[in-house]
Amino acid sequence: MNDRKEGPLRNYLLILLRAVIVFGMIVLLLAALYFAVRTALPFLIACILSLFLNPIVSFIAKKTGLSRGLASFLTLFILFSIAVSLLLIIAAALIRGIASFSKTVPGQLESLLGDLQTYFFAHLLPSWEKTVNIFSGLTKEQQHMLQVNFEGMAGTLINFLNDIAVRLLSSLTQFVSSLPDTLFSTVFVFLAAFFLSKDSEQIKKRLAMLPFFSTLRRPAKKMWQELKKTCAGFVRAQIILVSLTMILIYIGLLVLRTKYAFTIAFISALVDLIPYLGTGIIFIPWILYQYLTHHYFLTIALTVLYAVSVVQRQLIEPKILSSGIGLDPLVILIALYFGFRWLGFAGLVIGPLVLIMIRILHQVGAWRLLWNYIIGKKAS
């Protein structure tokens, strides 16, 4: 009788124990991933880069007869050359645009100052004189109260502007100070990727000697294939979105007969990759400037162009991302919303990435394997 009662109880305790083990392993894995990202991000990037480059290295080594080390060096050299060339092209376009823009800035600033001076004498000065007359008619207590309130608002504004200036200076200082570390990390990434790619066969053999490798090999291989396919779809989707933004802005600027239309459209497409801000970094200051200089037609036209570019991206982004990474548009929107609410701007990237990993784990049957382990069901 006692044995019959202890049997189900023992099973429930084993299920609870296995559930705790699985939960603990997941927590440890997430903690290890967080620690690795914080402390060993360049090495992780090198590992991912070498995994993506291994098929290319194997193809070059097979077709040319080169050793794997030379094939790895050649592949990384080509990749590095392409990256540097793209950066130089972008830098040259930016320098040309900035140089041309700097020639027109003095005249535009002079015109803006003249407009501000005219506006001051035509509108602000009469209003100020009326305000002074009204102020003179108030009692001393009322005048004192207004002065205190005005000084408080002025102090708040000064503190706000001072805080912005301090943050901008701090960000600039951090950026400049991080350049040596960034350069060192970049060199380390390429060197680590070279050695990992060159010795990939030896690394695979050593991994095969581990006791749990045979069990994890098939699901890990399938997971990696799904991850590559999903990453390729995500990159393809971003290229499509950026290209559409660039084409739309370029056509709009050509219609408006704007100088340096291609450079502006190209830069706008690049900043469109920045979550949440996007092309507003370019268009909002530009629209405000046109309004202050009384170019109202261009103000309205740029506002319409900016609004159209934002709306078209918001409409097609979920659809293109869903076709690229295989997720429903509504699910992506929910992930973007909660990611932003919980983690800020970083959540706009982390949210979809978490969804992608959950989807990949589902496709490789990881959740089913974990559940079968918890309930004690043997794999068939």
Q: pLDDT tens, position by position, for the chain (380 residues)?
A: 455 555 677 777 888 888 888 788 888 877 877 776 667 777 877 887 887 788 888 888 888 888 888 888 888 888 888 877 877 776 776 677 666 666 666 666 666 666 666 665 666 656 666 766 666 666 677 666 766 776 677 677 677 767 766 776 676 666 666 667 777 777 888 888 888 888 877 877 777 776 656 666 677 777 777 777 777 787 788 888 889 989 999 999 999 888 778 888 888 888 887 666 678 888 888 888 788 777 888 889 999 999 998 888 878 877 787 777 777 767 777 877 777 777 666 666 677 777 877 887 777 777 777 787 777 776 55
CA angle 217, 220, 226 (to 5 degrees): 140
Tokens of 342: 């919980």
Q: What's the number of CA atoms in the CB half-sphere (13 Å) around residue 259?
A: 6
Tokens of 158: 């000064």
Tokens of 214: 């045979």
CA dist list (Å): 110 to 78, 98, 105, 114, 123: 48, 18, 8, 6, 20
Helix (H, G, I), strand (E, B) or coil at 278: coil
Please state, in angstroms and rounded to a whole number, the distance separating the CA atoms of residues 333 and 354.
Answer: 13
H/E element holding 376? none
Residue recorded with tokens 């205190």: 148
CA dist list (Å): 169 to 165, 173, 338, 363: 6, 6, 31, 48
Residue recorded with tokens 């934002």: 310
Please state, in angstroms and rounded to a whole number, the distance separating the CA atoms of residues 353 and 366.
Answer: 17
* 2 contacts: CB under 8 Å, gap ≥ 6: none
What is the maximal distance between C-alpha atoms in the chain? Answer: 101
Amino acid at 86: L
Per-residue b/e over 61-96, b at no fewer than 16 CB within 10 Å? beeeeeebeebbbbbbeebeeeeeeeeeeeeeeeee
Please state, in angstroms and rounded to a whole number, the distance separating the CA atoms of residues 322 and 103.
Answer: 45
Tokens of 313: 């991206």
Please state, in angstroms and rounded to a whole number, the distance separating the CA atoms of residues 33 and 24.
Answer: 14
Give the closest residue to 72 by CA, choosing from 85, 61, 84.
Answer: 61
What number of H helices and E strands is found in the chain? 13, 0
Amino acid at 96: R
Residue recorded with tokens 């350049």: 179
Tokens of 296: 């109202």
- What are the two backbone dihedrals, phi and then psi, of residue 209, each rounded to the nearest 5 degrees? -80, -15
- pLDDT for 304 equals 92
* 367 contacts: CB under 8 Å, gap ≥ 6: 361
Please state, in angstroms and rounded to a whole number, the distance separating the CA atoms of residues 352 and 343.
Answer: 12
CA dist list (Å): 173 to 154, 202, 274, 287, 350: 28, 44, 21, 29, 27
> Is the whole model's pTM more than 0.75, yes or no?
no
Give the closest residue to 98 by CA, choosing from 321, 336, 263.
Answer: 263
- pLDDT for 231 equals 75
